[in-house]
Amino acid sequence: MMNRTETLRRALHSRRDRLIALTQAMIRIPTLNPPGEFYREACELIAAELAPLGFDCRMLRAIGTPGDSDRHPRWNLVARRTGARPGPCVHFNGHTDVVEVGQGWTTDPFGGALIDGRIHGRGACDMKGGIAAAIVAVEAFIDLHPDHPGAIEISATADEETGGYGGVAWLTGLGIFAHVDHVIIPEPLNKDRVCLGHRGVWWAEVETFGRIAHGSMPFLGDCAVRHMGAIIAEMEATLLPALARKRTAMPVVPEAARASTLNINSIHGGQAEPPPDFTGWPSAVVPDRCRMIVDRRFLAEEPIAEVKAEFRATLERARQRRPFAYAVRDMHEVAPSMTDRDAPVAAALARAIGATLGRPAEFVVSPGTYDQKHIDRIGRLKNCVAYGPGILDLAHQPDEYVGVDDMLDAGLVIALALADLLGVHAG
């Protein structure tokens, strides 16, 4: 008689074509964020997969959240299947939005091409392949255990790539996770890893001020772009080397991300970029304003107040060398989060990885934040981790892909962990 692992493995492999088709269908909906396109279409596709399995599907728009508008509504799907008798609730959460395409693709980024066992496209790895693997895993589990105890929930949410405020943060504020016992987020952290959490993040906008003048007489003006250049020079000379020397005890991957980091997300100074159909020349002026957005990732060992003070000290050192006026505006901040590796959901996934892959699970922490932050901080639910197929380094890259075999393996891990968490031990 086959054991549970082999029974579920066969059930999943019999659905290989279905898994491929679902992943491709999701990739072909270009849910680009920003601005937040086709969220409803993505949710409707997933709801059409879940409704026949007995899920009650609700479409919820996060009205009034950042980015939400009638042109770009922030739609979310929350689906629930109640079991035959009382038991815990296991929730799978995945975001439908994807980042911009970028340059360097050799395949259609929204084509979902299947090439040598890999499905290519923007969002294939991050994280439509993970959503598809979870859905098919749940389907296989329900087919074998239609009278399971407890409840299974699946949510497809908006805006994770821009902070999750129109998705999981909003839903958590509504109390959607108040009755949930276990959360698995199928982000691409590699199929043999359980991701316990993430580093912290602080986004800030720095603006330097000058005085406008004719470009032929810059000595009569005050160039705000040059002031920003002084800030960047000071960051390069003092702040970035100091951040590189900091190390965390958190098991962050890759190894280089165990240090603190800072990225310059964008700089805008001087005249605005003209529209694409403009054929003229810029006017001759000295720019009186320059804006820079910084993305600071910090460690559990760094208090947020210290992170901000360190950055402001850098600006002050730059101003001592070159007097200028500036302003700093907080955009958003998220504290580091890490679930204990002995938490029920983490332990269940680790056991399932061992049964599926024949080797111990690796416990890691993500270099970037994901929606666990809201479930932890707003929902006060610590029993939440990320686990899904896909190679972390492929996220946001050209020619992003997810391997079909990896999705099947991850799906088996998810199905086994689901059975474990619901207390289904037979078959």
Catalytic residue annotation:
97, 160
Question: In Å, how far are 1, 14, 57, 141, 307 from 10, measured between CA atoms?
Answer: 13, 6, 28, 11, 50
Q: Say which amino acid occupies 145.
A: H
Q: What is the SS3 assignment for 87?
A: strand
Cα separation of 384 and 372, whole Å? 7
Give bridge partners of residue 330 from the DSSP assignment.
204
Q: Say which amino acid occupies 297.
A: R
Question: In Å, how far are 305, 311, 313 from 301, measured between CA atoms?
Answer: 12, 16, 19
Cα separation of 15 and 22, whole Å? 11
Quick one: which of 166, 133, 145 has its CA closest to 81? 145
Question: In Å, how far are 224, 264, 342, 386, 419 from 231, measured between CA atoms?
Answer: 11, 12, 44, 37, 54
Quick one: which of 408, 410, 387 has its CA closest to 341? 387
Quick one: which of 31, 189, 207, 192 has its CA closest to 125? 189
